[in-house]
Structure 1
Amino acid sequence: MANTPYPQSYYAASANAAPPRPVLQGDVETDVCVIGAGYTGLSSALFLLESGFRVTVLEAAKVGFGASGRNGGQIVNSYSRDIDVIERSVGPRQAQLLGQMAFEGGKIIRERVAKYQIQCDLKDGGVFAALNSKHMGHLESQKRLWERYGHTQLELLDERRIREVVACDNYVGGLLDMSGGHIHPLNLALGEAAAVESLGGTIYEQSAAVRIERGANPVVHTAEGKVRAKFIIVAGNAYLGNLVPELAAKSMPCGTQVITTAPLGDELARTLLPQDYCVEDCNYLLDYYRLTRDKRLIFGGGVVYGARDPANIEAIIRPKMLKAFPKLKDVKIDYAWTGNFLLTLSRLPQVGRLGDNIYYSQGCSGHGVTYTHLAGKVLAEALRGQAERFDAFADLPHYPFPGGQLLRTPFAAMGAWYYGLRDKLGF
């Protein structure tokens, strides 16, 4: 039997203790079968259990194995395409609903951490850093846009102020969002899994869904068992494979790379990020970084289209880190890993229903930590018959990548090259 361990990441090395979870063997009956024990699946399971549903979660590897346990750990509001893009492409009512939800995911995370006493190193404060005047103009517009939707925990940072929060000479200013922040992402997932089990939910690990038998009473098959359910929630995102072909056609797995330094010590860490905020820059192909509880720097960036694993992650990311912080040139890198996220052509999440009883959410496009927690709530609402917010997402237009699966990777990479050139030239 295959036993897929966590990747050799800093998060896996510093994860909280978790109980062994069984492999599904035999037949199980439940109200809702959730495929995937990442944030989307765990959030859905928690909201459903709190509403009285019986829930069974199937995980192909281990809880938080995919993007939920490998990401940069940053709580970032809104979507990968911001609300102004949505406003231009949908009607005012749909835009209003989606705009109101854009800041809900971070609140859900904080509510979960408090309610279930999840130990995940939650810190408040996230910075968007501007590398040029164009970026700064974008942040000024973003602040006005978000405030129009009632999001007011924002402060524009001029060149002097941004030096007070990040010791990087490359930035001309920034935007501080105090409802943003950062967490240990794998420990958040493990804490949510424990909460699911505390409410009577069951999680099976090393139990990949290999086939969905559709119909009035759908059945999810694994290698050694099956789950009969009234409803199915497909929450595999970039790790779903071709289980649901119509979902795979409109999305593409992409890889992002992360490194973690050796412990820097309190003094050097405080010099780099005095307020312990997380930071991401405003480039299309952005860099992001933050401190850990034990004062390491986690630094990520880059995109590999088609989700191939680079041969030398440190060689890709370390130069980016040194461009931001030259003083770290002699600091050792203790961990380097890659993780996949799911990209859509619109860079907006895909939410919908297949038939009457199979629901899905996927395609966070690199903006998933907050959105996935919102998605779980929206999916649970739909299963309870409250579909207004679900429909606001489901009605977003989505299209296959040009050229199908064969050409989607080179087309996307070509687009990224173009935007990467724009980043370098500052326009």
Structure 2
Amino acid sequence: MQKTPHTGSYYAASANPSPERPPLREAIDTQICIIGAGYTGLSSALHLAEAGYKVVVLEAARIAYGASGRNGGQLVNSYSRDIDVIERNYGTDMAKMLGGMAFEGAQIIKERIAKYDIQCDFRPGGMFAALNKKQFKGLEHHKALWERFGYNDLELLNAEQTKDYIASERYTGALLDKGAGHIHPMNLALGEAAAVESLGGKIYEDSKVIQIDRKERPVVITQSGGQVTCDYLIIAGNAYLGGLVPELAAKSMPCGTQIVTTEVLGEDVAKSLIPGMQCVEDCNYKLDYYRITGDNRLLYGGGTSYGGGDPASIEAFLRPHLEKTFPQLKGIKFDYAWGGDFLLTLSRLPQFGRLTPKIYYAQGYSGHGVTTTHLAGKLISEAIKGHAERFDAFGQLKHFPFPGGHLLRVPYTALGGLYYGLRDKLGI
């Protein structure tokens, strides 16, 4: 059977050596079955394997085939809608509960890297960059909010100070998050997968799940002819789950984002752009994000295509963004360009819950998935071990279908995106 190839990304081209895992072709019995070998599935698997559970992971394609192997590689704290939105909509107690977890995901990743010696080009530090005075005011609020919830690794920078960190004239200021960072996302996933297997877990690739029988002991059937009966099932397919679980698909929508990676710049040029090697994202609604890779390339991403997919030319779409930020790189050669989908919810808050008492799911990180997926895996493992308070706090968040239903959700959301994109351009 021919293996499903990864997309033609810089990450796939520079991935650490990793064995191919065969598809599941037999009937097996296990304590934990997980659908999806991205961050949510691998984080869940690793936490549960560490606790002594027998774990099986079924991946439709390859480990980190989806967003976990295609993203910008930035460890961004909190959620796509911040703690103040949760407080406004759900009250102080809920804000305290979820706010207390908002900075945990990045710490879990750092702990995993250290514990399992995962070689994924980790570098500390991240920045939110303001393009106008209104956005800078937003960063002042951002700093005060996070500090109110006990996070103090932040430094506000004015326009001149920001130039010491980013060699660009675009920004009116920035917020430096010393507790953030960035990684090679596919290598992080491959390292976590190896850690799961070192603890006795089994991972099967090219094992797409085509049926879930929601019995007392759930049963899943794979396209490759395998079957798994389990005590607990964890659904972690996120934007690549398709229509396997209709009630989840109805309240979420895949969205595409795109990335380019330049030719190797060399250390001197790379450090002239971002001397401290932090990752950066701007404060636009449809934001740009970028960082220097471990081999000194500029990796630059941005854009949102509602409903998923890519523009006709990723290079043509992103080059003006990159050259506006760094005009000194005008005409730079791109070695890689790719896209991938993340899963958007109407509230921009993640969806955690149960389909039955034995079937868990976590998805819909809305662009903040690198850290929140790792938190999700920890919370699912806590719940299965009998401590569900933190997982159930997320389960109390309300999620609704997108306006217009399945047929009209893309154009309606795209109209909203156009509106906010115009606000970005006008600085209002």
Does TM, scored on the shorter chain, surpass 0.5? yes
Within a 5 Å distance, the mapping from 1:14-413 to structure 2 comes to 14-223=14-223, 224-413=225-414
1:266, distance to aligned residue in structure 2 (A)? 1.6
C-alpha separation in 2, matches of 1:225 and 1:19: 20
Alpha-carbon deviation of 1:265? 1.4
Is the 1:276–1:290 Cα contact (8 Å) retained in structure 2?
A: yes
Alpha-carbon distance between aligned partners in 2 of 1:401 and 1:3, rounded to the nearest angstrom: 35
In structure 2, C-alpha distance between the alignment counterparts of 1:306 and 1:196, rounded to whole Å: 33
Q: 1:2·1:206 contact (CA, 8 Å) conserved in 2?
A: no
- Using the TM superposition, give the Cα deviation of residue 33 of structure 1 relative to its aligned residue in structure 2, in angstroms: 0.4
**Alpha-carbon distance in 2 for matches of 1:396, 1:291:** 36
Q: Which amino acid aligns with 2:24?
A: L
Superposed displacement of residue 4, structure 1:
1.4
Q: What's the CA shift for 1:52? A: 1.4
Moved more, 304-313 or 328-337: 304-313
Deviation string, structure 1 residues 192-215 (Cα, Å, up to 9, x no partner)? 000000000000001011110111
Q: Work out the CA distance in 2 between the residues paired with 1:364 and 1:208.
A: 22
Deviations 1:315-347 (A, max 9, x none): 111110001001111210000000000000000
Q: Measure the CA separation in 1 of the matches of 2:149 and 2:310.
A: 39
Q: Distance in 2 between the 1:110 and 1:22 partners?
A: 30
Deviations, residues 80-100 of structure 1 (Å, cap 9, x unaligned):
000000000113222111000
CA distance in 2, matches of 1:156, 1:91: 28
Partner letter of residue 228 of structure 2? V
CA distance in 2 between counterparts of 1:294 and 1:140 reads: 34
How many angstroms apart in 2 are the aligned matches of 1:412 and 1:118?
Answer: 38
| Deviation readout 1:96-118 (Å, 9 max, x if unpaired) | 11000000000000000000000
- Where structure 2 has 5 or more consecutive residues not aligned to the other structure, the ranges are none
Instruction: Tell me how far apart the structure 2 counterparts of residues 322 and 194 of structure 1 sit (CA, whole Å).
Output: 39
Tell me which amino acid in the other structure corresponds to 2:174: G
- Residues 288-331 of structure 1 deviation map (CA, whole Å, 9 limit, x = unaligned): 00001111000000011111232211011111000100111121
Deviations 1:188-241 (A, max 9, x none): 000000000000000000101111011111101002111100110000000000
- Alpha-carbon deviation of 1:415? 0.5
Cα displacement (A) at 1:20 = 1.4
Pairwise CA distance, 1:2: 5.7
CA displacement 1:99-145 (0-9 Å, x = unmatched): 00000000000000000000000000000000111111110011011
CA contact (8 A) 2:309 2:339 kept: no
> Are the counterparts in 2 of residues 281 and 287 from structure 1 also a CA contact under 8 Å?
yes
- Partners of 1:142 and 1:388 lie apart in 2 by 27
Q: Secondary structure at the match of 2:164?
A: helix
Shift of 1:403: 1.5
CA RMSD of aligned residues (A): 0.7
Q: Deviations over 1:161-201 (max 9, x none)?
A: 10000001010100000111100000000000000000000
Q: Residues of 2 paired with 1:28 and 1:133: CA distance? A: 59
Question: What residue identity is the alignment partner of 2:219?
Answer: V
* Cα offsets for 1:32-91 (capped at 9, x unmatched): 100000000000001111111111000001100000000000000000000000000113
User: 1 CA distance for matches of 2:180 and 2:267?
Assistant: 23
CA distance in 1, matches of 2:134, 2:128: 13
Per-residue CA deviation, residues 234-292 of structure 1 (Å, 9 max, x unaligned), is 00000000000000000000000000000111221111000101000000000000001
2:257, 2:310 within 8 Å by CA — same for their partners in 1?
no
AA partner of residue 202 (structure 1): K
Equivalent residues of 2:45, 2:201 under 8 A apart: yes
Counterpart code for 1:147: E
The answer to whether the Cα contact below 8 Å between 2:55 and 2:202 also exists between their aligned partners in 1 is: yes
Q: Residue 101 of structure 1 aligns to a residue in which SS?
A: coil
Q: Secondary structure at the match of 1:53?
A: coil
Q: What percentage of aligned pairs have identical amino acids?
A: 63
Structure 1: 4+ residue segments shifted above 4 A = none
